[in-house]
Structure 1
Amino acid sequence: MKQNKYDDPGFFENYSKMPRSINGLNAAGEWRELRALLPDLNDQRVLDLGCGFGWHCRYAREQSARSVVGVDLSANMLARAREITNDPAIEYRQLAMEDIDFHGEEFDVVISSLAIHYVENFDSICSKIHHCLTLGGTFVLSVEHPVFTARAAQDWYYGPQGERLHWPVDDYQDEGQRQTRFLDNDVVKYHRTVATYINALIAAGFTITKLSEPQPSPEMLAEHPDMRDELRRPIFLMIAAVKYEAV
């Protein structure tokens, strides 16, 4: 299923009000960790899958990437991306990431941030990305952590006074579709275990170079004490992988 929730006017309006939608990467709590996984982008050909408003595309060009292609299924997202982008070296294409069909070794770096958990067939995505990456090319992705996606409720277990007692994990090994609530809308996500993410990348021919389960920095906790609960369970999983061999 190719989900295009961001072209729903109400959903898109709510998404556009999120801090990360207004202030970009600096408002994304996980950005510091994701940035650390990226290779040197100087003179690299970059592909961003699920590019949204194009924040990572513009960052890549700020780091002197040679060219950037941003792919997203949502016309609304791409319209906003084009509106705030003034760079002929960045191209935006409306396309489901499941449907990418780029030439072999067309890119040096592929990025996908918080988009792949909306995609049903991760194996196919991995194969297509491996195909379009040059030898030595890097794939960096972030997804909602499987501890977070295991239960469709995606919420804490609360005590009688509304206190957050613990984060429940159940049905972890039962992979597949989850209908969750996000921005007051029903949204379909796909739960996979950590092992499935890793093994799919390995099967596609990638070598895993680093994993990250980011947590708020001391600076963020000092500024936003309410984020301390984010230390109690991981919310994101990030993976860096390299194509060392053709398959």
Structure 2
Amino acid sequence: MNKDSWEKSADRFFGRTALPEYGPFSINEEQHKLFGDISNQKVLDIGCGSGHSLQYMGNRGAEELWGLDLSTKQIETANKVLSNQQVKVTLFESPMEKNPGLPSNYFDIVYSIYALGWTVDLQLTLINIHNYLKPGGLFIFSWEHPIHDRVSYKESSFIFNKSYNIEGPEYNKAWHNEVIIHHRKLSTYINTLIECGFTIEKVIDEVIFSDNNISENPSKWYSTQKAQLLPATFIIKAYKKA
């Protein structure tokens, strides 16, 4: 169901929410440099979409660019976007819960920009990522903050419309109930990372306002008014133990 929806909607997300951006109302990699020096690094993008985050990595000196995505159309687009890169590019059409042929203990950096939350099995996906990384390798991901869709705008007020505490798969209103996404608490992401062997360095849910994201419509999915109350995005920076 989710794959079918992505095939229909891929064009709408061309180049959106890609590095150096981490997500709505969030920090920017150009300013905060969570990745550090990317030169000569082998990098893997989980949920690579249209390839723009990999393009960012390649333009900053990454040695190899690898990615996987569930959508056929996204992989086709990413191959076009990355066709001018002067380094090795390897893309797989695959769900993140499966290893489509990626090497173990190979990557210096694995990352996922607004994609990891699509997984139907968080633990299995994180075990895969842990396996892909070299000892001491870096893992960074961003995703919609799990409190964000618990709150909606109605009759001039923001109200809680769902329980934050109840986890599990549910239809997503932002996609007009055409996809199913698992709601997980922030603590679930943190604890599952730890259980899978990661060391967490930083958790970021800082809200950043700029001229580019000012919204006059409080009922928008990502609105300025809502961001003044709660974060839209969270980021976690972690390492595989050396």
The answer as to whether partners of 1:106 and 1:132 remain within 8 angstroms in 2 is: yes
The answer as to whether partners of 2:25 and 2:231 remain within 8 angstroms in 1 is: no
| DSSP 3-state at the match of 1:99 | coil
**Structure 1: gaps (5+ residues):** none
Identity between Structure 1 and Structure 2 (%): 26
Task: Give the alignment's TM-score, normalised by structure 1.
Answer: 0.82
| DSSP 3-state at the match of 2:74 | helix
Q: CA deviation at 1:29?
A: 4.0
Q: CA deviation at 1:239?
A: 0.4
The answer as to whether partners of 1:167 and 1:233 remain within 8 angstroms in 2 is: no
The one-letter code of the counterpart of 1:177 is P
Task: Give the alignment's TM-score, normalised by structure 2.
Answer: 0.84
Q: CA deviation at 1:3?
A: 3.0
Worse-superposed segment, 111-120 or 177-186:
177-186
Could you say if the C-alpha distance between residues 176 and 183 of structure 1 is closer, same or farther in structure 2, counting changes exceeding 3 Å? Answer: closer
Could you say if the C-alpha distance between residues 15 and 102 of structure 1 is closer, same or farther in structure 2, counting changes exceeding 3 Å? Answer: closer
- Measured in 1, the distance between the counterparts of 2:166 and 2:22 equals 33
- Measured in 2, the distance between the counterparts of 1:26 and 1:113 equals 8
- Measured in 1, the distance between the counterparts of 2:10 and 2:72 equals 11
- Measured in 2, the distance between the counterparts of 1:234 and 1:32 equals 11
If each structure's helix is expressed as a fraction of its own residues, which one has the higher value? 1
Residue 20 (str. 1) matches residue 19 (str. 2)? no
Deviations 1:34-76 (A, max 9, x none): 5632232111100000000011101111110110101111111
| DSSP 3-state at the match of 2:160 | coil
In structure 2, what is the equivalent of residue 206 of structure 1?
198
Worse-superposed segment, 80-89 or 102-111:
80-89
Residue 156 (str. 1) matches residue 155 (str. 2)? no
Q: CA deviation at 1:218?
A: 4.0
Worse-superposed segment, 139-148 or 168-177:
168-177
1:1-247 equivalences under 5 Å are 3-9=2-8, 11-16=9-14, 20=16, 29=24, 32-33=27-28, 36=32, 37-85=34-82, 86-87=84-85, 88-100=87-99, 102-149=102-149, 151=150, 156-159=152-155, 163=156, 165-168=157-160, 170-184=162-176, 186-220=178-212, 224-226=214-216, 227-229=223-225, 230-245=227-242
Could you say if the C-alpha distance between residues 26 and 133 of structure 1 is closer, same or farther in structure 2, counting changes exceeding 3 Å? Answer: closer
Could you say if the C-alpha distance between residues 200 and 75 of structure 1 is closer, same or farther in structure 2, counting changes exceeding 3 Å? Answer: same
The answer as to whether partners of 1:147 and 1:169 remain within 8 angstroms in 2 is: no
The one-letter code of the counterpart of 2:134 is T
Could you say if the C-alpha distance between residues 80 and 233 of structure 1 is closer, same or farther in structure 2, counting changes exceeding 3 Å? Answer: same
- Measured in 1, the distance between the counterparts of 2:89 and 2:25 equals 24
- Measured in 2, the distance between the counterparts of 1:203 and 1:24 equals 28
The one-letter code of the counterpart of 2:135 is L
CA-based RMSD of the aligned residues comes to: 2.6
The answer as to whether partners of 1:51 and 1:72 remain within 8 angstroms in 2 is: yes
Which protein has greater RCO, CA pairs closer than 8 Å, 6+ apart? 2
The one-letter code of the counterpart of 2:112 is S
Q: CA deviation at 1:113?
A: 1.2
Aligned residues: 230
Q: CA deviation at 1:28?
A: 5.6
The one-letter code of the counterpart of 2:186 is V
The one-letter code of the counterpart of 2:164 is Y
The one-letter code of the counterpart of 1:107 is F
Deviations 1:3-51 (A, max 9, x none): 3145543x334445xx728x98569645744563223211110000000
Deviations 1:99-154 (A, max 9, x none): 125332110100111112111211111111111111111100111111024x4xxx
The one-letter code of the counterpart of 2:152 is W
- Measured in 1, the distance between the counterparts of 2:172 and 2:134 equals 37
- Measured in 2, the distance between the counterparts of 1:6 and 1:91 equals 24
The one-letter code of the counterpart of 1:71 is L
